[in-house]
Structure 1
Amino acid sequence: MELISMDIRVFNALSERVENMERTAEILYRKQDDLGLKRWLDNQDVCEMLGITKRTLQKYREKKLIPYAIFRHKVFYRLEDVEAMLQSSHHLNTHKP
Structure 2
Amino acid sequence: MEVITIESKAYSLLMEKLDKITAYVEETRLCEEAHKCRDEELKTDGRKRSTKWMTNKEACEVLEISPRTLQRYRTNRIVSYSIIGKQIRYPRKEIEHFRDRWMVETPDTKIDRMIAEHPLHTSKSKNYGKKRRNTGENE
TM-score normalised by the chain length of structure 1: 0.52
Aligned ranges 1:33-44 → 2 under 5 Å: 38-44=51-57
Whether the aligned pair in 2 keeps the contact of 1:47 and 1:57 (CA below 8 Å) is yes
Q: What does residue 81 of structure 1 align with?
A: 94
Q: Which runs of 5+ in 1 are unaligned?
A: 1-36
Runs (4+) of structure 1 exceeding 3 A deviation are: 91-94
For the residues of structure 2 that align with 1:93 and 1:43, how far apart are their CA atoms?
Answer: 22
Q: CA RMSD in A?
A: 2.1
2:74 equivalent among 58, 61, 72: 61
Deviations 1:49-81 (A, max 9, x none): 000110000000011111100001110011101
- Identity among equivalent positions (%) equals 30
Is contact 1:43–1:75 with CA below 8 Å preserved after alignment?
A: yes
Aligned length: 57
Which consecutive residues of structure 2, in runs of 5 or more, have no partner in the other structure?
1-49, 107-139
- Contact 1:52–1:93 (CA under 8 A) maintained in structure 2: no
Structure 1 distance, partners of 2:66, 2:83, is: 19
Larger radius of gyration: 2
Q: In 2, Cα distance between the equivalents of 1:65 and 1:59? A: 8
SS at match of 1:52: coil
What TM-score do the two structures reach when normalised by structure 2? Answer: 0.37
Does the C-alpha gap of structure 1 residues 49 and 68 become closer, same or farther in structure 2, counting only changes over 3 Å?
A: same
Cα drift, residue 87 of structure 1: 2.2
Aligned to 1:52: 65
